[in-house]
Structure 1
Amino acid sequence: MGIHQDAPALEHDGEDTTDDSIHEPRLWRDDGWTARVIKNEDDDGWAVEMTREGESEPALVGPWTMGRDKKNPKPLDPSAFRTLIKTASEVIRRHEQQLHAQLHKSVKVATSEATLTVKLDVVPDEDEPFAVLSAVGEYGDTIAEVTVAPNFKFTLGTATAWVENDFRKPS
């Protein structure tokens, strides 16, 4: 199989589509992903990079197996490509979970009347980032909300102090 990048448009379900799949020993493009086998800069071996369509940076770069001649890389194949997609997708998912955890935090604060959930939601705006500190009641009702700096130190202690200070904007 070779490069099909400039293949003519195909008739499919009434829509014109082009097949831009590539299935070469060191370059595969399919299913929204590109796998490229590259020379490992750190040693004599090979590496593979997986890049999701539309992204400029690879989601995954890892070692790649040598071929039988112990000089050239093992060619890409359908099974390896599917495994690489699965691994790269997992890396992206974990990165997204980590980013979400950094931007959205919450703690429970018990008062004499109820247990509140105090949340900090950071809005990473390029020009003017900010965060929203909010208190939510046991039934999901918002009790209070204030805007704070995006680097607001959010701990159980600062959340409790905010609640005990009648939800006045922290300084």
Structure 2
Amino acid sequence: MSDTPLSGPEMLDAEPGHDAKTQEPRLWCDDGWTARVIKNQDDDGWAVEMILDGEDEPALVGPWTMGRDKKNPKPLDSAAFYTLVKTATEVLRRHEQQLHAMLHKSLKVRTASGRLTIKLDIVPDDDNPYALLSACDEGGEQLAQVEVATSFKLNPDSATAWIANDFSKPGR
């Protein structure tokens, strides 16, 4: 998808992250969001992209309705803009939840001394990513913590083996 050329006052507000409130047929900026109607490269239709201020990539890109002339896009309006904001916010929220679920795993294991919570927390450092494997008792007190590879698979068997090994670093 590519942008249609902007000129005049549209050009001034074309970049996300500006402070001005803009309400134009193809460009709306408000509440930290920019909605921009763009030409769909794949066909004769139109698309709309939602960009959160400060971000380089759109949080949401979706099809946009044709206007009455079946040639130009339907103009943005307040109701459409706030529906798009709600949808884009939900997309970001689901992305954050998915990322959190990938980076933080937890399970409970019954032992002779009680139930333990075993956690695997991945630290996605660009230079040296690692993961922390930890065990807490029912009161939340940490019993052990070791650094493991980000590829460590936390499951009931690996957790039970770690406990049985007196919380020694797995793989030793």
Please report the TM-score for the alignment, with normalisation by the length of structure 1: 0.88
Determine the C-alpha separation between the residues in 1 that align with 2:34 and 2:97: 23
Q: Deviations over 1:9-28 (max 9, x none)?
A: xxxxxxxxx95111110111
Counterpart in 2 of 1:158?
158
The DSSP-based 3-state class of the residue aligned with 2:28 is strand
The DSSP-based 3-state class of the residue aligned with 2:47 is strand
- The letter of the residue matching 1:105 is K
Q: Structure 2: which 5+ runs fail to align?
A: 1-8
Deviation >4 Å, runs of 4+: none
Determine the C-alpha separation between the residues in 1 that align with 2:35 and 2:161: 51
Written as runs of structure 1 = structure 2, the 5 A alignment for 1:135-146 is 135-146=135-146
Counterpart in 2 of 1:131?
131
The DSSP-based 3-state class of the residue aligned with 1:83 is helix
2:26 is equivalent to residue 26 of structure 1: yes
The DSSP-based 3-state class of the residue aligned with 1:134 is strand
Counterpart in 1 of 2:47?
47
Counterpart in 2 of 1:107?
107
Tell me how large the CA RMSD over aligned residues is: 1.7
Q: Deviations over 1:3-59 (max 9, x none)?
A: 6x69xxxxxxxxxxx951111101111110000101112211110000000000000
Cα deviation, residue 112, structure 1: 1.3
Q: Deviations over 1:41-89 (max 9, x none)?
A: 2211110000000000000000101101111100000110000000000
The DSSP-based 3-state class of the residue aligned with 1:100 is helix
Counterpart in 1 of 2:6?
none
- The letter of the residue matching 1:87 is T
The DSSP-based 3-state class of the residue aligned with 2:144 is strand
Determine the C-alpha separation between the residues in 2 that align with 1:112 and 1:42: 62
- The letter of the residue matching 1:156 is P
Q: Structure 1: which 5+ runs fail to align?
A: 7-17
Counterpart in 1 of 2:3?
none
Determine the C-alpha separation between the residues in 1 that align with 2:43 and 2:157: 50
- The letter of the residue matching 1:95 is H
Cα deviation, residue 156, structure 1: 1.5
- The letter of the residue matching 2:157 is G
